[in-house]
Structure 1
Amino acid sequence: MQVDQAVHKPSIIICTYPHTGSEAKLRELRAGMEEEGVPCLLADAAVADAVALAHKGAHVSPLGVGIGISPDSLCVHYQKLPERQPLFVLAGAGSRAEWRTFGYNAARLVKGLPFKATAAEVEPAATAAVSREQGTIQQYPANGDMAELYATVREIVLKVLQENAQGHGEVNTWSKTP
Structure 2
Amino acid sequence: MQSDKTSQKPSIIICIFPHEGCAAKLREVQAGMEEEGVPCSLLTGEEVDAIALAYRGAYASPLGVGVGISTEGMCIHYQKLPERQPLFVLDGEDNLAEWRRFGYNAARLVKGLPFKSKQIEAAGNQLDTSQLYASVREIVLKVLQEFAQGHGEVNTWSKTP
TM-score over 0.5 (shorter chain): yes
Is 1:74 the counterpart of 2:55? The answer is: no
Change (3 A) 1:84 1:41: same
Question: In the alignment, does 2:131 pair up with 1:150?
Answer: yes
Partner of 1:171: 151
Name the counterpart of 2:87.
87
**What is the alpha-carbon distance in structure 2 between the residues aligned to residue 158 and residue 99 of structure 1?**
29
Q: Helix, strand or coil: the match of 1:9?
A: coil
CA deviations over 1:24-67 (Å, ceiling 9, x no partner): 00000000000000000001111101000000100010000000
8 Å CA contact 1:7–1:61 kept in 2: the answer is no
Structure with max Cα Rg: 2
- In structure 2, the partner of 1:8 is 8
Paired residue type of 2:132: A
2:48 is aligned with 1:48: yes
Matches within 5 A, 1:135-146: none
Amino acid at match of 1:152: Y
Q: Give TM-score, length-normalised by structure 2.
A: 0.81
Would the aligned equivalents of 1:112 and 1:158 in 2 still touch at CA under 8 Å?
no
Do the aligned partners of residues 76 and 156 (structure 1) sit closer, same or farther apart at CA in structure 2, a change above 3 Å counting? farther
Deviation, structure 1 residue 4: 2.5
Q: Distance in 1 between matches of 2:14 and 2:75?
A: 10
User: 1:111 maps to what in 2?
Assistant: 111
TM-score, structure 1 as length reference: 0.74
* Structure 2 residue 146 is matched with structure 1 residue 125: no
Identity %: 57
Q: Deviations over 1:52-86 (max 9, x none)?
A: 00001000100000000110110000000000000
Say what the alpha-carbon RMSD is for the aligned residues.
2.4
Q: Please tell me the residue identity of whatever aligns with 1:17.
A: F
Q: CA deviation at 1:154?
A: 4.9
